[in-house]
Structures are given as structure tokens and as C-alpha cells.
Amino acid sequence: MAGEIPNPLRSLFWGLLGFTILMSFVAWADIGELFVPPSTGPGVRLVDMPAPLLALNLALCALPVVAFVLILAGVAGMLRWTPGLLSTLSWRVGKLRFTPLRFAAILVLSWSLFFIAVVVFALLEILGTSVNPAIVLGGGLTVSLLPIAIGWYFMVMSGWVLSPGATRWERIAIRIAVISAGFLAALLIAARVAATFAMGSFALDPGARIPPLVPWADVPAGVGGFGSLVVLTTVAKRAAARGSPVPAPEKSLQFTTREKGSEDKAEFVCSECGRDVSQEDKACPHCGALIEG
């Protein structure tokens, strides 16, 4: 029964909403740095923080984890329940088959390994073992910049699974949002890498801020990323309100056949999109239409 099919778009919506809230704080902080330079003094210790401020910091630390888990759950559900979507969004490199979730796992695992390496380098420095400053700099720079790419890829995944059930104007909005966010993310990464190299030998100093602030790239990336997430969240909300992404059985589309020239072989054609499909397919790999019977 169609009513018994879960709607993963709800999970995707809540994940994107959490991501949007997180980016609103990032955009606000980036704009604030234009008017109030960041403090260069020592930070406030956790034990000295007021309880409300400590709770806010803990919530901000948990927000990206919760948001990304919900987005992954929504994407996984859409790939599972939407006919033909997984095969459309899978690609091969040699003998390796990559899916959106597998590639996301590779990115998150890579960041985790770099983060562990940076922590190990810091512990070695505390214990008195010298570590090549260039290696520490490279690890710290990667740990700080890779989340930008991961965040954009989560937008891409969301756009992939939202597009099949979206309206024409929603698909256009998704493409504009994802492409603009990708451009601004690439600009931010390139600007921060260039600014780090421009620091010269000072970048190797333990007290240097890595990566340095680049307001002309930070502000557009923060505000643009927030705007793109607002678009994706709105589309996800509208899609979730429309109901289950899986077509009901009574609305499944038939496949028709046509003769191939003078041959006796029949070629299956999707009656929805008109593209060729295989006789073994249970759903159109192009538009996701289900086959009856």
C-alpha cells in the first residue's frame, strides 16, 4: 500500500533545516567580522562560561552532526524507495562502483583521519617530540577546509534526490542553488589557501591563525551558502507536503513496445518519457516510472 511507504523527505527536510540554521550563524559571524575584528586574546575557558552560553556552544557543536545524519537518512531513504534513482546516481571507476552515500562516507572518513592526525601531532608537540611544521600546517589546513567541500556535497546529494519529484521551476531553483553554492565554496577554499601561502614563514608559527580570514570570500560564501540552503529546504518542505515520493500503484505508468525496423525484436519504451528501457527493468531508469503487472 502506498500509505505504508515511509516518506524520507521529512528526514531530509529536517536535516536541511538544521544545516540552514547552522549556516545562518556562519553567515552572521562572517558579516560581523567586517565591522568588529575578531579578538586576538586568549579565549574563554569552558568552566568560566555562563550556563546559557555553554548550552548554546554545545548545541552548535551537535547541530552539524544531527543535521548531516538526518540528511544522510533522507538521501538513503530516497535512493531506496524511488525507482531507478540509485542506478541513475551510481557511477563506476574501473571495477569500483560509487554511490552518493559511499562517496559521502569517503569524504567524512577522510576528514576524520586528518582530524585524528592533527590531534596526534598536537599531543606529540606537548610531549616534546618535534613534528615538521609544514606537515602540521597541511593537516590543519585540510581539517579546516574539507568541511566546506563536505557541506557542499551534502547540498548536491539533496539536490539529486529532490529533483526527480520536483516541479520544473523547483528543479531550476535547485540547480541554481547548488551551482552557486559550489562556486562560492571553491572561491572560499582557493582564497584561504592563497592567503595561507601569502603569510609565508609566519604561517608555520604555532600562534598563527590558519586559515586566515578572507572577508571578500568569507562573506559571499556564508551568505550564498545560507541562501542556497533556504532554497533546498523550501523545496524539501514542499516535496514532503506532497506525500510519499514513490508513485501509488494505481498511478504506475505502463511500458509500451514498438517494432524495430524490419526486425522481429520488440523494443520497450517508457510511455512517460519516451526513452528506451530494458525488458528486465521494473522501472524506467530515466524517469523512475513503475511498470504495471
Percent of the chain with pLDDT over 90: 36
Percent of the chain with pLDDT over 70: 75
CA gap 22, 255 in Å, rounded: 45
CA gap 173, 168 in Å, rounded: 9
Grid coordinates given for 231 = 532554497
Grid coordinates given for 1 = 500500500
Render pLDDT for 228-277 as a digit per residue (tens, 0 to 9).
Answer: 999 999 999 998 887 655 444 434 444 444 444 444 444 566 655 556 66
Burial (Cβ within 10 Å: 0-12, 13-18, ≥19) of residue 49: middle
Render pLDDT for 175-185 as a digit per residue (tens, 0 to 9).
Answer: 999 999 999 99
Which of 144, 274, 117 has the alpha carbon at shortest distance from 210?
144
In a domain, 42, yes or no: no
CA gap 253, 54 in Å, rounded: 55
Residue 128, pLDDT score: 77
Mean of pLDDT values over 98-114: 91
35-39, 87-91, 151-155, 193-197: which has the highest mean pLDDT?
A: 151-155
* Strand partners of residue 277: 268
Residue 104, pLDDT score: 92
Q: Do residue 266 and residue 200 come from a single domain?
A: no
Which of 151, 229, 134 has the alpha carbon at shortest distance from 188?
151
Number of folded domains that form the chain:
2
CA gap 172, 163 in Å, rounded: 9
CA gap 23, 227 in Å, rounded: 9
Q: Do residue 169 and residue 119 come from a single domain?
A: yes
| 49 pLDDT more than 90 | no
Residue 272, pLDDT score: 52
In a domain, 46, yes or no: no
Q: Do residue 148 and residue 260 come from a single domain?
A: no
State which residues form the domain around 290: 247-293
pTM for this entry: 0.76
Q: Do residue 163 and residue 75 come from a single domain?
A: yes
In a domain, 293, yes or no: yes
CA dist list (Å): 70 to 14, 158, 292, 293: 7, 11, 33, 35
Q: Do residue 218 and residue 127 come from a single domain?
A: yes
* Strand partners of residue 283: 290
Residue 259, pLDDT score: 43
Average pLDDT, the chain: 80
In a domain, 71, yes or no: yes
Q: Do residue 102 and residue 166 come from a single domain?
A: yes
Residue 51: band (very low, low, confident or very high) from pLDDT cuts 50, 70, 90: confident
The CA angle 131-109-55, to the nearest 5 degrees, is 85
Q: Do residue 59 and residue 87 come from a single domain?
A: yes
| 146 pLDDT more than 60 | yes
| 123 pLDDT more than 50 | yes
On whether the CB atoms of residues 150 and 108 are closer than 8 A, the answer is yes
Q: Do residue 28 and residue 166 come from a single domain?
A: yes
Q: Do residue 233 and residue 254 come from a single domain?
A: no
In a domain, 44, yes or no: no
| 212 pLDDT more than 50 | yes
Phi-psi region of 258 (alpha: psi -120 to 50; beta: other; left: phi over 0): beta
Name which residue leads in pLDDT, 247 or 44: 44
* Strand partners of residue 255: 270
Residue 188, pLDDT score: 94
Residue 9, pLDDT score: 87
Task: Evaluate the CA torsion angle 188, 190, 196, 198 in order and state its sign.
Answer: negative
Q: Is 14 helix (H, G, I), strand (E, B) or coil?
A: helix
